[in-house]
Amino acid sequence: MNSSAMQHSSHCTTLRGTAYVRQTLCCNRRIRQGKRLLRGVVTLCAGKVLLEVKDLEAKVAETGNTILRGVNLTIREGETHAIMGTNGSGKSTLSKCLVGHPDYEITGGSVTYKGEDLLEMEPEERARAGIFMSFQSPVEIPGVSNSDFLRLAANARRKQRGEPELEPLEFYGFVMPKLAALKMNPDFLNRDVNANFSGGEKKRNEILQLSVLEADVAVLDEIDSGLDIDALRDVADAVNGLKRPDSATLMVTHYKRLLNYVVPEAVHIMEAGRIIYSGGLEVADILEKDGYEGIKTLIKKEAAAGREPVAA
């Protein structure tokens, strides 16, 4: 990566989550339409489709390595989906492609969000339009206080929705109940974004951002990693508390324990850049019991029975 691209990338990562600051930092992403495979499309509720990913292909911009090789996923209002899969299968890449991370170039397929072409939208437009991603490894932003960061992000979203922006004092009134719901110490607001936060504190801070932004689609990448059991329960309760009938949650996780608290309607297994199997919570049970071999056996059985390998 050349130095300016690296700067773009690191800035973008550093400032991700704020709707307004990203606009000067991130690159345009354009896609070309790819062939449609139409595998793995999951239709669960009668709710309106919020996010529709079709045959999504993407490569690492710097190296040209293809990571996503035709991902299909349909998420409707009110639904919670989980993505599981071995390390390196492309879960984080998919998540980051949804928010327009400049490390990746979309090379095929489409993503529609609330009926609009998501891939035509700049990263900051996506954030303002209600897509939020919590990062697997949240970055520290020394010198920027959490309260300023959160207020600016919240105001960018409020402006988009035609709501009045919040002055610092008003914001305090807005954010305090959210902190209480998350069982977070109000001192969090005075600290620099994630600076010297423990792993668990960073994850809680991600959820605080989600709460403040009142996102419509929350993409949570390993929100459970590094959490002890009490913190996991708090974070899970907070995620559940933030769900609305018109919002949706996409969780990347390795562990069923998170799914016991935040119960998904669909569990997808990702491998080598594709969703190879989709089903209900039982998929996570099979994974826990028999590992990925158990899923492979299931796929073979379905194929032998003449069924499409993707269930649900």
Ligand X SMILES: Nc1ncnc2c1ncn2[C@@H]1O[C@H](COP(=O)(O)OP(=O)(O)O)[C@@H](O)[C@H]1O
In the complex with ligand X, the residue whose CB is nearer, 68 or 310, is 68
Distance CA 148, CA 306 (A): 57
Q: Distance between CA atoms of 167 and 144, rounded to whole angstroms? A: 17
Residue nearer to ligand X on the CB measure, 103 or 124: 103
Q: Contact region for Mg ion (CB under 5 A) — 52-60, 85-93, 167-175, 299-307?
A: 85-93
Residue 146 partner contact from ligand X, Mg ion, none using kind-dependent CB cut-offs of 5 to 8 Å: none
Measured distance CA(242)–CA(258) in Å, rounded: 16
Residues that bind ligand X (CB under 6 A): 60, 63, 67, 85, 87-93, 103
110 binds, among Mg ion, ligand X, none (CB under 5 to 8 A by kind): none
How many residues form the binding site for Mg ion (CB under 5 A)?
2
Cβ neighbors of 30 (< 8 A, separation 6 or more) are: 106, 119, 120
Query: Considering beta carbons, is residue 98 or 235 the nearer one to ligand X?
Result: 98
Out of 92, 110, 134, 147, point to the residue binding Mg ion (CB under 5 A).
Answer: 92
60 binds, among Mg ion, ligand X, none (CB under 5 to 8 A by kind): ligand X
Q: Which is nearer to ligand X, 31 or 67 (CB)?
A: 67
Tell me the residue nearest to Mg ion as measured from the CB: 92
* Nearest distance in Å: CB 57, Mg ion: 18
Which of Mg ion, ligand X, none binds 173 (CB below 5-8 Å, type-dependent)? none
Return all residues near 66 (Cβ < 8 A) that are at least 6 apart.
Answer: 57, 58, 59, 107, 273
Q: Work out what residue 278 binds among Mg ion, ligand X, none; the CB cut-off runs from 5 to 8 Å by kind.
A: none
The least CB distance from residue 221 to Mg ion, in Å, is 6
CB closer to Mg ion, 91 vs 203: 91
Q: Min. distance of Cβ 194 from ligand X in angstroms?
A: 20
Nearest approach, Cβ of residue 58 and ligand X (Å): 10
Nearer to ligand X, 74 or 93 (CB): 93
Pick the closest to residue 264 from 299, 240, 246, 288 (CA basis): 240
Query: Interface with Mg ion by CB under 5 A: which residues?
Result: 91-92
